[in-house]
Amino acid sequence: MSLEFVHNYQGNRYQPPPQSLPAMPPDDSDESGTAEPELDLEYPRDSWKSLPIATKDGDLTDLPQRFIDGRHRGETVLWLSAPTGEPIPVRLAEIAAGCITLQGRRENQVVQRVVSLISQPFPWEEIEGFVTALQVHGYRFLDAPAPLDESGARRVSFDFGTMENQPRTRVQREMQVLEEMILCQNLDVPTLMDGRIGWFSQPGLETRNIVGVIKNTRERYLHNEGIQVLMRLSPAERTPFFAVQSHDMPVITWFLRLAGSNRSMPNSGIVRIEVPKKRFETQQLGSDFVNRLSKRIYDLRSRHSDYQRSAISLEPIVRVEASLSACMTPPQHYQNRFYRLLNI
């Protein structure tokens, strides 16, 4: 069926409402699982306090030397009608990931153009033809799962917002696959990732020297005393470290304030840092390592006041983002090209 698949299922350009609510981002910063956080690792939970980070660099050999980030630009560009009538959003996106060294040398970079939709309601032979035709024109197809219904089964829905979130999340996850691919090209060098490390699936990463820095922090696993300590942090101060489940990987984690003050906004300028729990325990790491790593991250904070997220960004990650942005196509250009390809 090839590209005619879109026309055979009443494909239409998607026009978002002029005052639509902002789309909910994929839940890539929240913790998964039901395991209780271990809050008593460094200090008893009823004795938590803000802690200063290291004042001297100390040993730098086990601190991050590579920095990896990903970018995702995409929109819902079409919607189809499923055989049973449900609207099926089609997302077109560019995803990218890149890596630079501490010295600023670019190591790896990859950019891909992808199309994602929920294929479940369509005959698979028709999807296969569509996928093959997309590949000929340089697009990768990402099959998005249907949303979960109240019984826990995956079914398509007439709720367009719920359906639209599935391809969005699928594309975001594929961007993380690109990040993991670049990470695994050189696992012998300490590496910092922009985001959580628990989404990665490569066996053995739990023993590697990798660090995740999460900008969209969540405090829901902290006890009341912990939240109060978090809100009172001054720049270059951290919370005690504790353990949580970061999706599939147990991690040691803590909060660090990079900028701002608790007088301006209680949770501004705060990032969360995570490292694999297994490596932390096997190497018998502790407060000294946490303080040295926190100082390295604090010293790498962005000083660019014109950068939108400078208060919670690291300078090497900002450079990766700039490099990736220069290699990506403006969304309007590749969307119009896609419409012409489909004759819509």
SS3 per residue for 88-113: EEEEEEEEEEEEEECCCCEEEEEEEE
Higher pLDDT, 30 or 209: 209
What confidence score (pLDDT) does residue 310 get? 56
| Of residues 140, 139, 142, 146, the one with CA closest to residue 164 | 146
Task: Give the mean pLDDT of 259-276.
Answer: 78
Higher pLDDT, 282 or 246: 282
Is the confidence at residue 17, as pLDDT, over 80? no
- pLDDT interval class at 32 (50, 70, 90): very low
Length, in residues, of the chain: 344
Find out whether 124 and 103 touch, Cβ atoms under 8 Å. Answer: no
Task: Give the mean pLDDT of 274-285.
Answer: 96
Is the confidence at residue 267, as pLDDT, over 80? no
Per-residue model confidence as pLDDT tens digits over 74-121 = 999 999 999 999 999 999 999 999 999 999 899 889 999 999 999 999
- pLDDT interval class at 149 (50, 70, 90): confident
Task: Give the mean pLDDT of 263-271.
Answer: 73
Q: What percent of the chain has pLDDT over 90?
A: 70
What confidence score (pLDDT) does residue 318 get? 93
What confidence score (pLDDT) does residue 55 get? 79
Task: Give the mean pLDDT of 61-67.
Answer: 93
Is the confidence at residue 273, as pLDDT, over 60? yes
Is the confidence at residue 200, as pLDDT, over 80? yes
Q: Average pLDDT, whole number, for the chain?
A: 88
Question: What is the domain partition of the chain in residue ranges?
Answer: 28-64+190-313
Rounded (to 5) percent helix, strand, coil in the chain: 30, 25, 45
What confidence score (pLDDT) does residue 270 get? 92
What confidence score (pLDDT) does residue 31 get? 45
- pLDDT interval class at 19 (50, 70, 90): low
- pLDDT interval class at 15 (50, 70, 90): confident
Q: What percent of the chain has pLDDT over 70?
A: 90
- pLDDT interval class at 304 (50, 70, 90): low
Task: Give the mean pLDDT of 177-187.
Answer: 95
| Of residues 191, 247, 231, 243, the one with CA closest to residue 28 | 247
Alpha carbon distance 212, 210 (integer Å): 7
Is the confidence at residue 283, as pLDDT, over 50? yes
Is the confidence at residue 48, as pLDDT, over 50? yes
Task: Give the mean pLDDT of 234-244.
Answer: 95
Say if strands 140-143 and 106-117 run parallel, antiparallel, or are unpaired: parallel
Higher pLDDT, 150 or 40: 40
Task: Give the mean pLDDT of 327-339.
Answer: 91
What confidence score (pLDDT) does residue 196 get? 92
What confidence score (pLDDT) does residue 30 get? 44
What confidence score (pLDDT) does residue 79 get? 94
Is the confidence at residue 24, as pLDDT, over 70? no
Is the confidence at residue 138, as pLDDT, over 50? yes
- In the 3-class helix/strand/coil scheme, how is 120-174 assigned residue by residue? CCCCHHHHHHHHHHHHHCCCEEEECCCCECCCCCECCCCCHHHHHHHHHHHHHHH
pTM value? 0.87
Q: What is the DSSP letter of 20?
A: P
